[in-house]
Chains A and B, each alone.
Chain A
Amino acid sequence: MRLYIARRLAFSVLLVFVVSSASLLLASVAPGDFVTESLGAVVSPETAARARVRYGLDRSVAEQYGRWLTRVARFDFGRSLVYDRPVADLVPERAANTALLALAALIVSTVIGLPLGILSGSRRGIVAAIVRGASVALVSMPPLLTSLVLVFIAARTGWLPIGGMHSTAAGSPSFIDVLKHMIVPVVALALPIAATFERLQSQALADTVRQPFVTATIARGVSEQRVVWRDALKAALVPVASMYGLVVGSLLSGSFVVEMVTAWPGLGRLMLDGLRGRDAYLVAACAATGTLFLAFGTLLSDAALALVDPRSRQ
């Protein structure tokens, strides 16, 4: 087990290295550079050339990459050209915003999805049917659609603030203000995942309830409620737990979309800004952080699964 985790970690480090190198090189070989994007055609060739020398863009791609590598080895990730700030300051701040969004959405979808799944999986009737119908519809609504619809509702009704993390008017952002701004993006990200959890939990529970051990327990006189909540739920946890590894990827991709639609200042927006401005260091750092998130999240969910299901430890 320990060896396995060590191998996974080593692979993740390699992955992050390859991804950041590749995205740096890709962003560097692309036509145009930061100078042409930011200064445009209005400046004289001499000014542009001077700017290139200042940012080190006059060197060959190989040389730029070599310099970046030696600096990265000292944990200096370069300076963002677009924001004129060290990448190492900029990225953690935005990555934290994305992590906040993703974690909140994960919690919300778990809290909504699993109980509703237990309900619809263990009971019949109108409520279960409504839950099931809503889930089937929401499963077909990726975050792009849920966020557009929620922003539309929020803009139409004025109930909730939309755009950004906090109101611009206030001086220092208050906790309540951030919380209010979080509702639309978090719910947009959480709804499809909650629906997935609901369907999965419902199916798993329905399958478990049909198993002989449940019939046997009920035959011994244990109440149905007790069997569902104590025995069947425990057995039905495994397929749901195995889903979290997949959800990490959806959270990351979904969060990117939601950040775009709701103007949430996260990692995805930062990478897009870097891309538009041909800011290679920024793009590399963002891609690396995204990869790190995914690798870490998957590792964590695999570890959780190993706890719930001893068979998966192999």
Chain B
Amino acid sequence: MIPFSRTVGWITTAVIATGLFIGLVIFRLSSDLPGWVTALATVGVVLVVGALAWSAQFWPAIEYRHASYRVDGDGLEIHRGVIWRVVLNVPRSRVQHTDVSQGPLERSYGLGTLIVYTAGTDHAQVMLRGLDRADALAIRDHLLPREADDAV
């Protein structure tokens, strides 16, 4: 999960950095504002890109430390969030249906995302990212109704 998040982070950083850099170059060439404005803009861009790079490299590990989940007979409980923390509890009897999805990058890392659909409004979809694909499928099978007349 961490290498995957890092890769995603770096790709995002690279894209944004390129955009900002090109913007900066255009800005330098086309405007005739005093030199200190351009210098300030350059410093700003450098800071932003630096922050993005730091978060791409170090944030996934921090996030991972605070993320966990538990599946039991009653349902699924997800802990996530570093600064704003959430504990989500989805009872088994409230699971409408589930998806296991894989983006292209997730596929190359062997990861999957479990999406649990409920009848709620805020949490109509509860997502659990960065699972091993086999684990995601196992949890999904576990959350499916056991008996034919389970609460629906």
A and B physically associate: no
B residues apposed to A, CB below 8 Å = none
Listed in ascending order, the chain A residues whose CB lies under 8 Å from chain B are none
